[in-house]
Amino acid sequence: MGCQKTVILGDNLTFTATTHTPATGALVDADAVPAYRVYEDETGTAISNDDMAKLDDANTLGFYSELLACTTANGYEVGKSYSIYITAVVGGVTGGLSYSFTVAEDIGAVIAIGFPENNTADAEPGGGEVVTGTNTANDGDSTFLDDGTYWQIAAAAADGDGFGLSVIQTFTLGLTKKANLLKVNAKEDLIGAVHVWFKNYITGLFEQVSDASTAISGGSDDNYSYAILPVHQQATDGEVQVRYTSTDTSTNKYLYLDQVLLQSVTAGPTLAEIAEAVWGHAIAGQDELTAGYALDKTRVLVTTVAVADTATSFTLTAGVAVADAYNGMIMMIEDRTDGHYETRRIVDYTAGRVVTLDRALGFTPEALDEVYIQASGYGDVNVQAMAANVVTAAAIADGAIDNATLAADAINAASVKADAVTKIQSGLAVPGDAMTLAADSIKKVTFDESTAWPLLAADAGATQVARVGADGDTLETLSDQLDATVTAGAGAVTFTFTVQDAATDPIEGVAVWVTSDADGSTVVAGTLYTDASGEVVFYLDAATYYFWKQDTRYNFTNPVAVAVS
């Protein structure tokens, strides 16, 4: 069940209702479609009544809907409240519910509203009718004169439109007034009904605005009102034409117009003028007060991609020919393929309008992608002081600080305090301890013998180190020879030991060492690690040896006795 609370005059309103079994509350179709009545305010007479209809009958139970055309012709008025009374019978039991809603003015129609003003004009015959009465000018007078002017159906035949009575009234309001309502005090004598028409200046034809319930009828003076739409007023001079008609061609029947007023309002600013006042720059001396001016000052450039290169660098269609002009500013760019936006910071801009971003976009820009550069300040960070423990080892990603991220001479004598080294040492786990270097932290590509301490060629005394021996051996070659001797053995027999899993698949990375006794006390070779084939090579003399294996992934039986020959 549902019904909106507000509807714009002239729009449609849809409401729904569901019916249930009285005993269980389960959904069920009613014995007959529900009926409804619509009331205005607390008026006891319904302005409309009808039956609702099933909605999506194949897929629903007890679900009904109805649409109301909330128009002036159907009796709806702005500012009035309306109640919908719905009844339905289920299993012989009558149930009901009600909704309420209000009718509001279309905001687009009230933008130009000022103080209402009444306008008058004389009426002229439109067919063969005859004017009689004591004051023939009163048909357009703002004062009331009972039966002062009346129109008699002529004895002549009906005019070309089939009307025996056709009175046309012309108002010329000018361009500063907007007509919105026609108010008439009138009556008719024996005609039965006189309909009211407005000329539509788009089609050039008159269109009837009254119906059976709003036509001028009855022998007593009554008030009538009819809403005027923008199409009913001539754009060039503000002219409005009103027509009163009857198809009755009998003589001695009359229309009495005691008072006719065309209500108008002084035209306010147009939508274009409002938009200019808010967003534009055309108001002399007031540019700085518009939202458009403020927005324009925060948005330096709106352009497109001219030449696409990469996700971090491309050429703009427009922009000043000054290098670095947009450096540090924020750029927003639209990917036209799916309409999404991404924002990046400009780190470089050339006189040739090539822009470079701080990091890659999630897409590669294409020609005509929209670009917006905002007048944002620099994003550089200049830290003057930092609280303790803000930057910790855990907070710095591995490799975050390297040669690529440090500018040349970023750390020099001028930037390091005299006691910096002392403070660093005092912060170690054991003050004064030497710092442990990572594996391969000093290697050929990073080591310069001409400057490294304590291996300077000029070193002498306790710090002097012999770097190359008499036979040409270096420290590195000597180390390799010692490693080979200690770990692989020095025997005459080359022996390959293989490690496999239960499925006879080789196991790589297993630690293997060799002892001469089953207790493992005397190591003669190892530790070495198996290769991708699960093999490791030892140099042993002929004898029985005990091989030991270790790997956190496996539980091995140790030792394995092997006779090497």
Each residue of 306-315: pLDDT tens digit? 998 899 999 9
Residue 140 reports pLDDT greater than 60: no
Cα–Cα distance for residue pair 252/96, rounded to 1 Å: 52
Give the residues across from 495 on adjacent strands: 538
Report the predicted TM-score, pTM, of the whole model to 2 decimal places.
Answer: 0.33
Phi, psi of 107 (to 5 degrees): -60, -30
Quote the tokens at residue 343: 């924002």
- In angstroms, the CA 514 to CA 543 distance is 12
Per-domain residue ranges of the chain: 2-108, 117-266, 280-374, 478-564
Q: Which CATH class is domain 280-374?
A: mainly beta
Angle between helices 291-298 and 271-279 (to 10 degrees): 50
Could you check whether 2-108 and 478-564 share the same CATH topology?
yes
Task: Provide the pLDDT for residue 375.
Answer: 78
pLDDT value at position 366? 92
Cα–Cα distance list, 399 to 345, 383, 435, 442, 541 (Å): 23, 22, 18, 16, 48
Lowest mean pLDDT among 39-53, 163-177, 313-327: 163-177
For residue 441, the model assigns a pLDDT of 57
Best mean pLDDT range from 219-233, 282-296, 426-440: 219-233
| CATH code linked to domain 117-266 | 2.60.120.260
Residue corresponding to tokens 């061609």:
249
* Higher pLDDT among residues 41 and 399, named by residue: 41
Position 449 confidence tier, pLDDT thresholds 50, 70, 90? low
Tell me the pLDDT of the chain averaged across its residues: 78
> Do residues 196 and 233 lie in contact, with contact meaning Cβ atoms separated by under 8 Å?
no
pLDDT-based confidence at residue 144 (cuts at 50, 70, 90): very low
pLDDT at 544: 94
Q: How far apart are CA 206 and CA 196, in angstroms?
A: 10
The pLDDT assigned to 327 comes to 92
The hierarchical CATH code for the domain 2-108 is 2.60.40.10
Could you tell me if 66 and 15 are in contact, meaning their C-beta atoms sit under 8 angstroms apart? yes
CATH code that applies to domain 478-564: 2.60.40.10
The reply to whether omega before 527 is within 30° of 0 (cis) is yes
